[in-house]
Amino acid sequence: PVDKDWWRGAVIYQIYPRSYQDSNGDGIGDLAGIIHRLPHVASLGADAIWISPFFRSPMKDFGYDVSDYRDIDPMFGTLGDFDAMVARAHELGLKVMIDLVLSHTSDEHPWFRESRTSADNPKSDWYVWADAQPDGSPPNNWLSIFGGPAWQWDGERMQYYLHNFLSEQPDLNLHNEEVQDELLSVVKFWLDRGVDGFRLDTINFYFHDPELRSNPALALEARNDSIAPSVNPYNWQNHLYDKNRPENIAFLKRFRALLDEYPAAAAVGEVGDDQRGMEIQAEYTSGGDKVHMCYDFAFLSAAQPTGKRIGEVLSKFEKTVGDGWACWAFSNHDVVRHASRWNMSEAEQRLYAAILVSLRGSVCLYQGEELGLTEAYVAFEDLQDPYGKAFWPKFKGRDGCRTPMVWVRDNATGGFTDGKPWLPVAVEHLERAVSAQEDDAASHLNFYRRLLAFRRHHPALVKGTMSHLQATDEMLSFVRQNGDERLFCAFNLTNAAQPVTWPEGQWQIAVGAPFEAPGDGQDALLGPWQAVFATDA
């Protein structure tokens, strides 16, 4: 029997296909390379993989600019390779989630090519077109996340078109039902090919205000802090009109109805909104009739969360999102790797990893996180990311977390490729290559394996409720409960010993807990960067 609920509490391992494993020496990772490395993912104890886009694309935003939703870019392989990859993943017990970018296409997509030819062709309304203001300026004040206005003048159609990201990523007009139908047929195409689910890119950007009202300025205290507004002016605006529109709910219901025609398909929607992220998550995931979960941004920003901050996020989540579900992450292909972002020691990284897998929700791990990889320095000459090029040097872009995965220590490219890697391999990563950690019981990699095995063996951690939350700057603790199993989880977020405040009852250290027990009694101090997991059975 299929487990319809597999996504609830799943550990999802994110693969950035360009940088995972090259199989043909062109310096770019590919699907055949992923097939070769899937046993690594399975050995880690992940439940699913999420693969960043591999569709046909001019690669202006490295695959997030799709020119054919129903084909694999030749750089990554063929549909045959894709089918083989799904089959291999399933053999290894891994679900496959693919990354659908439905908010925008590439400007080279045939739909856009047609749309831009005139104001009255069959696809003329498939994108968001608007006239210039009398003085020739864009229709309103909307900004692109990647810099400049969100409007690009098109000399062919003599109108502006909307793009929330690059000008080579024109926004689709989902107010048009034909566009919705076509996108849903893309979803069906991949479901019929056997995928288990989707990561939906920028799900809250699907709809814009049809009246094209300008965004108001944002109150100081409500700013997005992932990239400072002084660097990116986008973060000075309150995005009331260019995204987060109410029409999205009806579309997400259509999407979900389609998924529910399949035995166990699930979706995680990306909601990268620091201002109302939690409220939007609640709207999109509650009720079980829209997306299954939202990808949460609370821990992807610059500041390292203290116990207190984590506690605030969790209690707000419990209050706001209710029966909805989150997917938590510390790293991905868009942000500085968290080992560096939070400047953590090895012990600290392990403690934070333990916190991540103990939160109520699903978890995304980003390739290399299991090795403890740090952010790579990528010099301007080697820079590939258009976002980085736009804001260099105040913001160095996203290449530092996209450098190749390291498999083999004694190899100049870490075993990633026989050719010249598309981004340089970070020399300091080599000592953390899989080959260097594989057989060392004390390695970061083997710690992650124990951690995930521990989580898997405790349904309270996977699907349980959360209660008894206590949070200070130094200590975080809560109880996770599923059926009869109650698991007390306490984390010392400092480099000094801390007392634990135990909930009422008799607690004993859980079998297989991935940290040393803090002595034998409940009153013992918790050592620096230590966690304790205890059952009351």
Q: Which residues bind Ca ion (CB under 5 A)?
A: 22, 24, 26, 28, 30
Q: Report the residue from 14, 21, 106, 224 that binds ligand TEU according to the rule CB under 6 A.
A: 224
Residue 486 bridge partners (DSSP): 481
**Site for ligand TEU contains 154 (CB under 6 A):** no
CB 476 within 8 A of CB 504: no
Per DSSP bridges, beta strands 475-482 and 465-471 are antiparallel
22 or 61: whose CB is closer to ligand TEU?
61
**Site for ligand TEU contains 272 (CB under 6 A):** yes
* Residues 252-274 as b or e (16 or more Cβ within 10 Å = b): beebbeebeebebbbbbbbbbbb
Q: Report the residue from 41, 49, 98, 145 that binds ligand TEU according to the rule CB under 6 A.
A: 145
* Residues 309-333 as b or e (16 or more Cβ within 10 Å = b): bbbebbeebeebbeebbbbbbbbbb
Give 436-473 as a DSSP string.
HHTT-TTSHHHHHHHHHHHHHT-HHHHH-EEEEEEE-S
Q: Of ligand TEU, Ca ion, none, which one does residue 28 interact with (CB within 5 to 8 Å by kind)?
A: Ca ion
Q: Token digits for 186?
A: 């893309």
334 or 375: whose CB is closer to ligand TEU?
334
Is position 261 annotated as part of the catalytic site? yes
Distance CA 86, CA 80 (A): 10
355 or 425: whose CB is closer to Ca ion?
425
Least distance between Ca ion and beta carbon 416 (Å) = 10
Altogether, the residues listed in the chain come to a count of 537
**Site for ligand TEU contains 273 (CB under 6 A):** yes
Least distance between Ca ion and beta carbon 27 (Å) = 7
Q: Token digits for 466?
A: 């959360």
Distance CA 395, CA 389 (A): 9
Distance CA 232, CA 169 (A): 19
| Interface characters, 321-340, with ligand TEU (x: CB under 6 A) | ------------xx------
Q: Of Ca ion, ligand TEU, none, which one does residue 338 interact with (CB within 5 to 8 Å by kind)?
A: none
**How many Cα atoms occupy the beta-carbon half-sphere of 374 within 13 Å?**
16
**Site for ligand TEU contains 385 (CB under 6 A):** no
Q: Report the residue from 22, 61, 168, 375 that binds ligand TEU according to the rule CB under 6 A.
A: 61
**Site for ligand TEU contains 171 (CB under 6 A):** no
Q: Of Ca ion, ligand TEU, none, which one does residue 154 interact with (CB within 5 to 8 Å by kind)?
A: none
Which is it for the CA torsion 431, 435, 438, 439, positive or negative? negative
CB 398 within 8 A of CB 47: no
Instruction: List Cβ neighbours of 450 (8 Å cut-off, separation of 6 or more).
Output: 512, 514
Closest chain position to ligand TEU (CB): 272
Q: Of ligand TEU, Ca ion, none, which one does residue 237 interact with (CB within 5 to 8 Å by kind)?
A: none
**E strand or H helix that includes residue 90:** helix 79-91
Least distance between ligand TEU and beta carbon 273 (Å) = 6
Q: Of Ca ion, ligand TEU, none, which one does residue 304 interact with (CB within 5 to 8 Å by kind)?
A: none
Instruction: List Cβ neighbours of 270 (8 Å cut-off, separation of 6 or more).
Output: 199, 200, 201, 202, 203, 294, 295
Residue 114, phi then psi, degrees to nearest 5: -70, -45
201, 369, 370, 375: the catalytic one is 201
**Site for ligand TEU contains 64 (CB under 6 A):** yes
135, 192, 211, 261: the catalytic one is 261
Q: Of ligand TEU, Ca ion, none, which one does residue 173 interact with (CB within 5 to 8 Å by kind)?
A: none
Distance CA 361, CA 321 (A): 11
| Interface characters, 83-112, with ligand TEU (x: CB under 6 A) | ------------------x-----------
Q: Token digits for 260?
A: 């529910």
Say which DSSP state 194 is in: T
Q: Of Ca ion, ligand TEU, none, which one does residue 22 interact with (CB within 5 to 8 Å by kind)?
A: Ca ion
Q: Of Ca ion, ligand TEU, none, which one does residue 334 interact with (CB within 5 to 8 Å by kind)?
A: ligand TEU
Residues that bind ligand TEU (CB under 6 A): 61, 64, 101, 145, 165, 201-202, 224, 272-273, 333-334
Q: Catalytic positions, please?
A: 201, 261
